[in-house]
Amino acid sequence: MSEKPAELKLWGGRFTGSTDPLMHLYNASLPYDQKMYKADILGTKVYTSGLQKIGLLTDDELIKIHQGLDLIEQEWSLGKFVEKDGDEDIHTANERRLGELIGREISGKVHTGRSRNDQVATDMRIFVREELIKLKSILKDLIETILKRAENEIDVLMPGYTHLQKAQPIRWSHWLSMYATYFVEDYKRLIEIIDRLNSSPLGAGALAGHPYGIDREFLAKGLGFNNVIGNSLTAVSDRDFVVESLFWSTLFMNHISRLSEDLIIYSSGEFGFIKLADAYSTGSSLMPQKKNPDSLELLRGKSGRVFGSLSGFLMSIKSIPSTYNKDMQEDKEPLFDALTTVEHSILIATGVISTLNINKDKMESALTMDMLATDLADYLVRKGVPFRETHHISGSCVKLAEDLNLSGIDQLTLDQFKSIDERFNEDVRETFNFETSVERRTAIGGTAKSAVLNQLQNLQSQL
């Protein structure tokens, strides 16, 4: 590979020798930071407008610069931008091309007072902001898909589990509402992160500030930022917004992974609660009968990929000194990969949830009378017996039914109930009804129909 002469690099005047070709490859970030071409061009347009505002560019020069930048953006969007040796990153590539289009005499003024330190920080914030706004939109679609399904299937009952053991009867919609609640919290956190990252570093220079008194508030407003980062050292060195974005991605993917694990279990032959659409399943190369939940397994698996991006980047920046250091170039690949993975995961999860079929009969036939043991204890609580005592009594009833090889505690006779505690009466039979059990849990967050509908309405209102 031929090497661009050092004097033509942005930083080349002090150097007399050529860069080791391997070092050039090791240093270059254009293969992945070209994703930010729109952000870089927008930043340069606004920055040059700021230079014109303080008299460092003429009106005619500004027009030519913006026309050239428009052509460069068109080349990128059409896949016609020609990369050349020496294009280290998106910034140098765009500035080199601008010089070819409008001449270096004018293009050479574009970088006046600006450093790649504040330039890349600006590009990153613009790019990440737009990506997170996109994620916010499709995450809202996922949540609304879950809420709609929950509302439509409000009457379906199923076992609720702790420790993967049958615990108490719940509504299928209550289970859906649980994950909708997780995702709404993710949605709210995302809004907060977008707000926090939306501050402008542009005009901070390399680290010490701008030497020509550029109007940083003008630049911030032109780029859609809410405010200006008030310390130039912080402006060029802060990557907390990258860490927060990766943390958010990690937490979201943890929720997606747990959702996937539940659905994988529920789709198994042993459960048979749900059936995935063919569009989100694959078969076996050997066993023709297999229908594998590959979409869910990939969602679960890709969570580890995102977790790794966060931990890897934290290790990269944990001990770098102030302010800008080249280590920070390692922010882009893990972040870009994580954001892409999250975007695809949201879309896949939305497709899975919207197209799966539930087996109402299988769900309800999985309910067993031992799941009403707590209701049996509650029956005596309503007669004034302390719960700690009723818990023991109910456990004794379960044991007696097991000892007698009965199919459930509901098969005990009244005399058998009374042999354990005389306070049992004939109305104990009313306890052994799953719908009744579910409908007793009307408190906020419960699994009664009214409580679940309130949950769904509350979650919708938070979007």
pLDDT digits (tens, 9 = 90+) for 245-274: 999 999 999 999 999 999 999 999 999 999
pLDDT band per the 50, 70, 90 thresholds, residue 85: confident
The rounded distance, in Å, linking the Cα atoms of 238 and 229 is 10
Alpha helices in 201-293 (DSSP H): 216-222, 232-237, 240-267
pLDDT band per the 50, 70, 90 thresholds, residue 45: very high
How confident is the model at residue 425, as a pLDDT? Answer: 93
pLDDT at 419 over 90: yes
Q: What is the pTM of this model?
A: 0.91
Closest CA to 63 of 75, 49, 74: 49
Closest CA to 308 of 345, 346, 335: 335
pLDDT at 10 over 70: no
The rounded distance, in Å, linking the Cα atoms of 140 and 26 is 39
The gap between the terminal CA atoms of the chain, to the nearest Å, is 53
Q: Give the dihedral of Cα atoms 265, 266, 267, 270; nearest 10 deg.
A: 80
Tell whether the torsion through CA atoms of 417, 421, 426 and 429 is positive or negative.
negative
Q: Is 176 exposed, middle or buried (0-12, 13-18, 19+ CB in 10 A)?
A: buried
How confident is the model at residue 291, as a pLDDT? Answer: 82
Max Cα–Cα distance, the chain, nearest Å: 102
Alpha helices in 269-372 (DSSP H): 294-317, 332-355, 360-365
Q: Active-site residue numbers?
A: 163, 284
How confident is the model at residue 21, as a pLDDT? Answer: 75
pLDDT band per the 50, 70, 90 thresholds, residue 5: very low
Average pLDDT over residues 3-24: 57
Residue range 55-66, pLDDT digits in tens: 999 999 999 999
The rounded distance, in Å, linking the Cα atoms of 53 and 51 is 5
All structural domains of the chain, each given as residue ranges with its CATH number in brackets, are: 6-112 (1.10.275.10), 117-215+232-365 (1.20.200.10), 369-461 (1.10.40.30)
How confident is the model at residue 4, as a pLDDT? Answer: 44
Are 313 and 243 in contact, with CB atoms under 8 Å apart? yes
Average pLDDT over residues 458-462: 97
Angle formed by the axes of helices 116-152 and 449-461, nearest 10°: 150
Mean pLDDT, rounded, of the chain: 93
Residue range 149-188, pLDDT digits in tens: 999 999 999 999 999 999 999 999 999 999 999 999 999 9
pLDDT at 201 over 50: yes
Residue range 430-454, pLDDT digits in tens: 999 999 999 999 999 999 999 999 9
Q: List all residues 6 or more positions away from 263 whose beta carbon is below 8 Å from its beta carbon.
A: 274, 276, 293, 296, 352, 356
pLDDT at 2 over 60: no
pLDDT band per the 50, 70, 90 thresholds, residue 1: very low
Average pLDDT over residues 106-113: 97
The encoded tokens of residue 358 equal 């539930």
How confident is the model at residue 111, as a pLDDT? Answer: 96
Q: List all residues 6 or more positions away from 105 whose beta carbon is below 8 Å from its beta carbon.
A: none
